[in-house]
Amino acid sequence: MMAYVYLSVAIVAEVIATSALRASEGFTVLLPSAISIVGYVVAFYFLSLTLKTMPVGIAYAIWSGVGIVLISLAGWLVYKQLLDLPAIIGMSLIMAGVVVINLWSRTAVH
């Protein structure tokens, strides 16, 4: 169970870091640059804790799938970036894969 808590923290930190990376304008703006660096350090630390008990493939599938959707949502809310129908369908399929892994995979957590 703690693996999912660690993975959730890692995903949220990575989404914050990536959103701030966009605002850093190539690491030329100090505060968003610092947020990005700290966010990625936190994200990878908590991902490393996750990998103590969860297979790397499963952890990465969840990390990337949820991260894609949350970063797209942040881009829409913060930066007014729009998604077209194929992008929304594709992300829905990614989230369906994450749900399948979490509900039916026996390899998710040892």
Domain boundaries, the chain: 2-104
Q: Is the dihedral of CA 10, 73, 97, 18 positive or negative?
A: negative
Give the residue from 75, 70, 6 showing the smallest Cα distance to 43.
Answer: 6
Average pLDDT taken over every residue of the chain = 92
CB 21 within 8 A of CB 36: yes
Q: Looking at residue 109, what is its pLDDT?
A: 59
What CA–CA distances, in Å, run from 77 to 71, 80, 81?
A: 10, 6, 8
**pLDDT digit string, tens, across residues 80-105:** 999 999 999 999 999 998 889 888 88
- Is the pTM higher than 0.85? yes
